[in-house]
Amino acid sequence: MFERYTERARRVVFFARYEASQYGNAYIQTEHLLLGLLREDYATVRKCLPEEAALAANIRAEIERRITIAERISTSVEMPLSAESKKVLTLAAGAADRLKHRRVDTEHVLLGLLQVNTSMAAQILAEHGLAAPAVQERLAKAQSPQFPAGAPPSPLPMLNGFLDGLKSLGADGLISFFAMNAEFIDVAGKLWNREEIWRKFDALFAPYAKRNSTYIIESTLTNTQATFVATVLWKNALLASEQRAWLHRMSIVMTVTGADWEIVLIQATLVQPS
């Protein structure tokens, strides 16, 4: 089903699967797809609004009022799409076809959500002033998201999505951020390829998933239409169970593939506290 999907659109589904597990739902429902879309590409939803609002927080609160929250489900448990969610993704592909877009992107997922008008996601979006005809008209007038006329989209939303995801997502939610030839160099200097990153993800990124870990994008070293290089400083607050705080610096190299940014290299180094 996902062969035509951009990495951004695939990550919407990955994030939706995570949201469903956190709420203890056995199926990925349309409301989870909506939360996944907001997590991956809030800008697309916001630009379609009649006026800017604190949409993400409002939608999450509205969803939590309408659903039954159960015990969390492990991300290792298989979680299928609901019938409505399958329909959303089918309609998203149909929207891309009508607009003569070769690949299915986040904009098409939004349109698919709006077209299943009996779903919770469509009802909530409608309450915020989003309607399928207006969004489709906007997309028809815009340049195809797979072949933008100018520079590619900013890599920062994707980078922040990955870094934020380290706090809560495992390999299933984050491996799609990595290019097929991606490499990770850990603080001990060991090199891991993409397959190894996938298999050892939880252990490799465990320090950054800690509740007391925070990050800042420290500097941008390269920012062109094809390459983005940044350094990210991670630190943790000192806990009673730990002898001292630590600082890690990540050097992250990203390149453009199609319309998407992908991580090709992460090198983590230990920084001694001053």
**pLDDT tens track of the chain, all 274 residues?**
676 788 888 889 989 999 999 999 999 999 999 999 988 888 888 777 665 455 667 888 899 999 999 999 887 788 899 999 999 999 998 888 888 887 889 999 999 999 998 999 999 988 888 878 877 777 766 654 444 444 566 788 788 888 988 877 777 678 878 988 999 999 999 999 999 998 899 899 998 988 788 999 999 999 988 899 999 999 886 655 555 678 899 999 999 876 678 899 999 999 865 4
Q: pTM for the whole thing?
A: 0.58
CATH architecture of 7-141: Orthogonal Bundle (1.10)
Domain(s) of CATH 3.10.450.50: residues in the chain: 156-271
The rounded distance, in Å, linking the Cα atoms of 49 and 89 is 22
The rounded distance, in Å, linking the Cα atoms of 96 and 184 is 34
Please give the C-alpha separations between residue 193 and each of 171, 183, 186, 197, in angstroms, as whole numbers: 14, 5, 11, 6
CATH architecture of 156-271: Roll (3.10)
- Scanning the chain, the segments in alpha helix (DSSP H) are 7-22, 30-47, 55-66, 83-98, 106-115, 120-127, 132-141, 156-165, 171-174, 194-199, 201-204, 206-209
The set of residues, in sequence order, having a beta carbon less than 8 Å from that of 238 and lying 6+ positions away, is 244, 245
59 closest CA partner among 128, 11, 9: 128
Domain(s) of CATH 1.10.1780.10: residues in the chain: 7-141
Contact indicator for 98, 87 with CB cutoff of 8 Å: no
The C-alpha R_g of the chain, in whole angstroms, comes to 19
